Structure 1
Amino acid sequence: MKTSRSIIPTAAVAVLLLAGCSSTDTAAESEGGIALITEGTLTLCTNPPYEPFEFEKDGEVVGLDIDIVAEVAADLRLELATVSTPFEGIQSGAALSAGQCDIVASGITITDERALNLDFSDAYFDADQGLLVPAGSDLSSIESLKGKRISVMVATTGATMAQENGLTTTEYDDLGTQIQALQADQVDAVINDVASLLPYVDQGFEIASNFATGEVYGLGVKKGNTELLDSVNATLSRIRSDGTYSNIYAEWIGVTPSQG
């Protein structure tokens, strides 16, 4: 699946972006008239490590989000380039507004607040919040977390949920540093989207609780980029109907969507 799509290694992206920004002050356009920051390329902003959605492997950013955006790029007959950037700029629309990328995908929950600053695609993933703790911990509920040191990721719905429940939180820039803090006993528990916590279950941790929040993920484009948004939604519809989405989901989540 991943080998069928052209994904530019992370190390090459900076050169690509510099070339694109220095050559012209206006956005390039695809054959279909879609505004792009670099001609012939769909540039994606994402925030690894966030396995299984986006993380680096053998010098390339891979994952469920990457495979889905690769399908968008393929349908548009474009190359795909990934740019790793802080989640704050992704979820706020700042990365899109600054011309860093054409599309954002980083396990982004669709919210009314975020929709003020970027245009969301149709939903493509159902997500709940999860609680990751050391194996054998007695922490398993919001009540049990009162007075404990809770790690959250900056600008996420998990951070909002924890803070609204009066928990004592420390914010980290990405999931990787959240896990490092838990490993170093700097925090007692991690709150983040439950699917992103699954890879750490076999590393001395366990998911003690699943908080059903009814969240869904969407891909994001710059406000008003209707042509690209329509293409993204067309691809999402196509991969759901032809089985591609089920294959991508099963590869990265380990079950088919109906089982998830």
Structure 2
Amino acid sequence: MKTGKKILAFLLAAAMMVPMAACGSKAKTPEDIQNAGKLVMATNAEFEPFEFKDGDEVVGIDIEISQKIAEKLGVELEVSDIAFDTLITALQSGKADIVAAGMTADEDRKKNVDFSDPYFNASQAIIVANDSDIVSRTDLNGKTVGVQLGTTGDKYCTNEDGENDITVAEVKRYSKGMEAVSDLIAGRIDAVVIDNFPAEKLVEKNSDKVKKLDEALTSEEYAIAMPKGSTELQKMVNEVLKEMQDSGEMDEIVGKYISAE
């Protein structure tokens, strides 16, 4: 009986430790990254112009910003291209040092990661078919809307907190924005809600079939995420962002990928 009790106690202790380990995330310091000799930046390369594929290479605004951070640290940049809804998990599990992915620094995410100062103001846009009768956000009521899984657009359309006055009939989630637009063109969904600049790129490539409405759904700020408690790393990243903004380099990088209209 004593042996059985000891085994039971051990199993209970182990069961209690598993969720604690799963929820924990080790803070990263600049020294940790320098000792590793590389900065691992996780992203989802389906978000042009912030991150996208040019052949086999991942390029975009966030990659160039991350390269500047790596240079400040004196290390190589390693880009890890993974699904958007696994980015925060990658930070928490130690598989990535930072996330730069056109990620909105919202309150829910701040519970799990630390964010840098914002580096870009963004909004959510609506894409519809050229012959669609949807002309404003209120027309989304009762419609089937496509979103990229885990994004602000997903949160907006799901509307679990009831903060929005829009109630869609169904939210269809996709790993890539282009997959949602393909379903829109095929008539399987009524609209797509995605960040404004990626929306412009998607419409540009399919302008004979889809269009972007002028009305913006939200106002938000992109920031770079890192493991909770990474105070020193956060300070250093903020310094790099400020240097880039003060020197005009940030505007140059953004202008390189986003043409003024």
Q: Quickly name the TM-score band, shorter chain normalised.
A: 0.7 to 0.9
The answer to whether structure 1 residue 201 and structure 2 residue 203 are counterparts is yes
Deviations 1:218-239 (A, max 9, x none): 0001111222211110100000
SS of match in other structure, 2:42? strand
Contact 1:154 1:173 in 2 (8 A): yes
User: Which amino acid counterpart does residue 77 of structure 1 have in structure 2?
Assistant: G
| Residues 228 and 192 of structure 1: CA distance in aligned 2, closer, same or farther (over 3 Å) | same
Query: How far apart, in 1, do the equivalents of 2:81 and 2:182 lie?
Result: 19
| Aligned-residue offset at 1:200 | 2.1
1:92-241 matched pairs, under 5 angstroms: 93-164=88-159, 165-167=166-168, 168-202=170-204, 203=206, 204=208, 205-241=210-246
Identity of aligned residues (%): 32
Quote the residue 1:3 is aligned against. none
SS of match in other structure, 2:46? coil
Give structure 2 stretches of 5+ with no counterpart: 1-25, 160-165
The answer to whether structure 1 residue 52 and structure 2 residue 49 are counterparts is yes
Contact 2:121 2:221 in 1 (8 A): yes
Deviations 1:61-98 (A, max 9, x none): 001111111111112111111111111121xx211111
Query: How far apart, in 2, do the equivalents of 1:36 and 1:125 lie?
Result: 25
| Residues 38 and 190 of structure 1: CA distance in aligned 2, closer, same or farther (over 3 Å) | farther
Contact 2:127 2:213 in 1 (8 A): yes
Quote the residue 1:24 is aligned against. none
| Aligned-residue offset at 1:38 | 7.3
1:5-20 matched pairs, under 5 angstroms: none
Query: How far apart, in 2, do the equivalents of 1:84 and 1:37 lie?
Result: 22
Query: How far apart, in 2, do the equivalents of 1:139 and 1:190 lie?
Result: 11
Deviations 1:227-252 (A, max 9, x none): 22111101000000111101001011
Quote the residue 1:19 is aligned against. none
CA RMSD of aligned residues (A): 2.0
Contact 2:30 2:73 in 1 (8 A): no
Deviations 1:108-166 (A, max 9, x none): 10111100111000001101110011223221222212222210122222112122221
Q: Which has the higher contact order (CA 8 A, sep 6+)?
A: 2
| Aligned-residue offset at 1:191 | 0.2
SS of match in other structure, 1:42? strand
Contact 2:104 2:221 in 1 (8 A): yes
Contact 2:137 2:217 in 1 (8 A): no
SS of match in other structure, 2:215? strand
- State TM-score, norm by structure 1: 0.81
| Aligned-residue offset at 1:37 | 9.2
Query: How far apart, in 1, do the equivalents of 2:78 and 2:178 lie?
Result: 22
The answer to whether structure 1 residue 63 and structure 2 residue 85 are counterparts is no
SS of match in other structure, 1:36? helix
| Aligned-residue offset at 1:52 | 0.6
User: Which amino acid counterpart does residue 123 of structure 2 have in structure 1?
Assistant: D
Query: How far apart, in 2, do the equivalents of 1:179 and 1:95 lie?
Result: 27
Q: Look at both structures and tell me which one has the larger radius of gyration over its CA atoms.
A: 2
Query: How far apart, in 2, do the equivalents of 1:159 and 1:191 lie?
Result: 8
User: Which amino acid counterpart does residue 190 of structure 1 have in structure 2?
Assistant: V
| Aligned-residue offset at 1:40 | 1.2
| Residues 150 and 212 of structure 1: CA distance in aligned 2, closer, same or farther (over 3 Å) | closer
